[in-house]
Amino acid sequence: MIDLAIIGGGPAGLTAGLYATRGGLKNVIMYEKGMPGGQITSSSEIENYPGISVVTDGISFMAPWSEQCTRFGLKIEMKSVERVEKISNGFCLHFEDGSKQEAKCVIVCTGSKPRRAGIKGENEFFGRGVSTCATCDGFFYKGKEVAVLGGGNTAIEEALYLSEICSKVYLIHRRDEFRAAPNSVERAKKCEKIEFVLNAVVDEVLGDSSGVTGLRLSYKDGKTRQIEVPGIFVFVGLDVLNNVLSDNNGGFICEMTPQGNVKVNLKMQTSLPGLWACGDLRQDAPKQVVCAAGDGAVAALDAIEYLRNHH
């Protein structure tokens, strides 16, 4: 049985790993199903993490985090956790490959993933013109026109990024007000390559055997429009990844909000002693790297205290 298992290697999980190992825990494993770094690695820029003087991309920003943790003894295993089971003296992690690992306590930091918009043709053409990652796929549209869907921070920032590569970006949003930070919206409005298509929804992603060829839109006032683009980037929010906390009865092993976020207190403790939830997964998460990292530190410090008192 290990002392502490951390599930997810984004900013929350890596910071939990750093604080747990640097705080003296010897037997800590972080499980990550993809590449450590989390969802910020799909971002073309991060400029609001304290101390950053030069705007950098998400992959470069996260690269040193894993190395810093492993220096203090964090073990990282590339494994996908299927579910966490409560057992008498701790928890049992069940992995997708069928293996298991027992741990005295667990910090869950599984974050969230991009949501699909539910448009006709979106799933059919996903990966063939429909994308949720401008950093990954933007270059395929060098010198071409693309569309971006959404009015949040991700849509505006990635539209700006794509405007550096593409000849034109149609920014399609269902309202004429934005969730995105006002300064980002102002930057986008000043960008000549971005056309704002507001009060409009995409009714269908059009395509053929080569992939996406265009979009069929309708405006709130009933007018319709067709845009010829080979690519659409969908940034319509995030779905929380809470499935590792499912129980066998269609519920969860700890208390959740109706939206599927984990209920936590100020120490990131869930309703189940020995189990913490951090970052985008938890209730009222501000969905910022700095906050996810802060949560990870808080949970790890509390886990050290818990292990001292309970084991």
Closest CA to 202 of 247, 147, 126, 165: 147
What is the x/- site pattern for ligand NAP, positions 159-178, by CB under 6 A? ---------------xx---
DSSP of 237-305: -EEE--GGGB-TTSSBSS-B-TTSPBP--TT-B-SSTTEEE-GGGBTT----HHHHHHHHHHHHHHHHH
Does position 109 bind ligand FAD by CB under 6 A?
yes
Does position 155 bind ligand NAP by CB under 6 A?
yes
Does position 61 bind ligand NAP by CB under 6 A?
no
Are 147 and 125 a contacting pair, CB within 8 Å? no
Look up 137 and say whether it is catalytic.
yes
DSSP of 128-170: TTEES-HHHHGGGGTTSEEEEE-SSHHHHHHHHHHHTTSSEEE
Residue nearest to ligand NAP (CB): 152
Does position 241 bind ligand NAP by CB under 6 A?
no
- Residue 226 backbone class (left: φ over 0; alpha: ψ -120 to 50; beta: rest): beta
Look up 254 and say whether it is catalytic.
no
With CB under 6 A as the contact rule, the residue among 81, 130, 159, 194 that binds ligand FAD is: 81
Give the active site residue among 3, 69, 109, 137: 137
With CB under 6 A as the contact rule, the residue among 36, 121, 151, 279 that binds ligand NAP is: 151
> How many whole angstroms separate alpha carbon 37 and alpha carbon 60?
10
Look up 166 and say whether it is catalytic.
no
Q: CB of 205: closest distance to ligand FAD in angstroms?
A: 20
> Which helix (H) or strand (E) element contains residue 3?
strand 2-7
Closest CA to 244 of 111, 132, 114: 111
Q: Which one, 32 or 214, has the nearer CB to ligand FAD?
A: 32
Q: CB of 112: closest distance to ligand NAP in angstroms?
A: 8
> How many whole angstroms separate alpha carbon 301 and alpha carbon 171?
43
Partner from ligand NAP, ligand FAD, none binding residue 150, C-beta < 5-8 Å depending on class: ligand NAP
User: Binding segment for ligand FAD among 20-28, 69-77, 171-179, 286-294 (CB under 6 A)?
Assistant: 286-294
Q: CB of 174: closest distance to ligand NAP in angstroms?
A: 5
Q: What residues line the site for ligand FAD (CB under 6 A)?
A: 7-13, 31-34, 38-40, 42-43, 46, 48, 80-81, 109-112, 154, 241, 244, 279-281, 287-290, 292
